[in-house]
Structure formats: C-alpha cells, structure tokens
C-alpha cells in the first residue's frame, strides 16, 4: 500500500507526519516506524507522528520515537504537528489538541511556520549531584558545562542515559553553556539514541532549571541556541512552581510524498 506523508522540521528536529483521521494506518508496528525513520533506507526522521481525530479537541497527536516505540511528549514535534494541522485547514491560528501528556494549547502564525506551544506545568526539579532532573512532558537531565561546541555529546550523553540510575526508563541528557542573554544547548535523546539538532522538551527543561539555578522568579524569557537554530522559552516562576510555559520557534514543511509500504512484511 502507499503511505502519503509530510516531512516537517523544527530547528532541525525532523519528523514524518501522517494525516490518519480516517484511521487507515495501523501504526502499532515498531518495525515499520523504525524503518520509515531510517535515514538511509527510509524517509528519515527523529520521530513519526500521526494526526488523528479526538472528540473535544481539534486533533490528537500520536508520537513515536525513531526506534518505533511510543514516546513521551515531544515539544518540537508538537509544534510541527500544529503547523501541519494548519496546512490541512483543521485549525487557523489557535488550537487545543491532545498529546500523550494531556491537553495542549498553541498559537501558530498566519504564515504557518512559527508556533508557540504551551507545555505542562512543572512543580518539581530534583538534583543529581550538580545536575538538575525534571519532567517537562519527557524526563530530562540538565548539566552545565564549558566548551560545549567541542564536547562529545554522543558519548557522554549515552553514558548518563545508560547509567544505573536511568537505564530502565531512560532519560534525555542536555548539556548547557551560557550564551549572551540565554544558553547554548546540545541534547542526547533517548529513543533516537543519538544527539539531535534540537529537543523542545529539553530546552524547556534547561530554561526552567537555569531559572532555579540563578534564583530568578517572575515572568522569564529565555532564548536558546541549538544546533538547528534558535528557540525561545517563556514562563512564570514563583520560586516553587513553573506555569504558563511556552516553547516557541520555527516549524517548517520540508517536503511531502508517498512511499510504498508493506506493514505485514516489515
């Protein structure tokens, strides 16, 4: 059968998107998902999403990591699927949709290529030695570092992700360096099991952790540079709880096409 798909990227974090409102695709197939996300033998992507109908919401976001397994929330994926929904004329400039971590509100520009996505509230930031550990829809480890441009993020991130504390469930590992008014961030992502060009829930975790580290409260705006471009995180923090958290940045259609798949044979 032929699968019609779209390819989107948000600051270099790239995804395969499929309109599955008619439920014609049975996506509970890890081998198929991982084959399609393969950059040499498939379409290629950090993950794959299916846009589906859901009563009470504009749509539902169903997300899989590149390894074919269901994933926790993906922030840049969430922004890309909002841009996709606008492309499909499901929404105009605002939306309420459902993801694995609950409802999300988002605004998208008239041009459809800039999305501001509201993330879940966060009320717990833990410490692991000098690092910060928190969940922004996905679990994250945040570590300040120096000379980030030359760090072996793959090797060091993989070591932390697979240590005794985090091996069973995995964790995303973010290395952070102050840059101008914000931060430079590089992330090793579980499920992809590699460094990605951007991680939306990761840069969100970094912004929240750094606010705590610096003793900041009130309404905070944090620009962040990633390998794939620039993102922005804004939120309110009263010293105990983070709310009104928004992840903002580009969400761009790269191309669309169709690919022949045989779900039974994969």
**Rounded-to-integer distance, Cα 26 and Cα 126, Å:** 38
> What is the crossing angle of helices 200-213 and 75-87, to 10°?
130
Asked whether 204 and 245 are in contact (CB, 8 A), the reply is: yes
Tell me if residue 80 is catalytic: no
Tell me if residue 74 is catalytic: yes
CA 86 to chain CA mean position, Å: 19
User: Under DSSP, is residue 37 helix (H, G, I), strand (E, B) or coil?
Assistant: helix
**Rounded-to-integer distance, Cα 74 and Cα 90, Å:** 21
State the catalytic residue, choosing from 16, 25, 32, 74: 74
CA 171 to chain CA mean position, Å: 13
Asked whether 124 and 113 are in contact (CB, 8 A), the reply is: no
Asked whether 121 and 246 are in contact (CB, 8 A), the reply is: no
Contacts of 204 (CB under 8 A, 6+ apart): 75, 119, 136, 137, 233, 245, 247
State the catalytic residue, choosing from 199, 208, 209, 220: 199
- Reported as half-sphere exposure (CB side, CA atoms, 13 A), residue 192 has a value of 25
Active-site residue set? 74, 199
């Amino acid at each position: 059968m032929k699968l019609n798909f779209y390819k989107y990227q948000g600051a270099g974090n790239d995804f395969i998107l499929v309109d599955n409102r008619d439920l014609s695709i049975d996506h509970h197939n890890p081998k198929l998902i991982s084959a399609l996300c393969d950059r040499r033998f498939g379409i290629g992507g950090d993950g794959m999403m299916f846009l589906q109908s859901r009563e009470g919401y504009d749509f539902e976001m169903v997300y899989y990591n590149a390894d074919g397994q269901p994933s926790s929330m993906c922030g840049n994926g969430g922004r890309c699927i909002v841009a996709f929904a606008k492309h499909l004329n499901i929404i105009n400039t605002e939306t309420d949709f459902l993801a694995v971590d609950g409802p999300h509100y988002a605004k998208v520009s008239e041009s459809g290529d800039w999305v501001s996505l509201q993330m879940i509230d966060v009320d717990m930031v833990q410490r692991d030695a000098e690092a910060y550990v928190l969940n922004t829809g996905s679990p994250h480890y945040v570590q300040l570092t120096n000379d980030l441009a030359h760090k072996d993020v793959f090797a060091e991130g993989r070591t932390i992700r697979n240590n005794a504390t985090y091996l069973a469930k995995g964790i995303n590992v973010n290395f952070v360096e102050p840059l101008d008014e914000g931060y430079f961030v590089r992330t090793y992502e579980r499920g992809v099991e590699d460094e990605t060009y951007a991680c939306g829930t990761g840069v969100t975790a970094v912004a929240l952790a750094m606010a705590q580290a610096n003793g900041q409260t009130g309404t905070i705006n944090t620009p962040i540079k990633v390998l794939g471009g620039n993102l922005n995180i804004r939120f309110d923090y009263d010293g105990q709880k983070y709310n009104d958290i928004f992840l903002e940045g580009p969400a761009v259609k790269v191309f669309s096409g169709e690919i022949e798949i045989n779900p039974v044979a994969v």
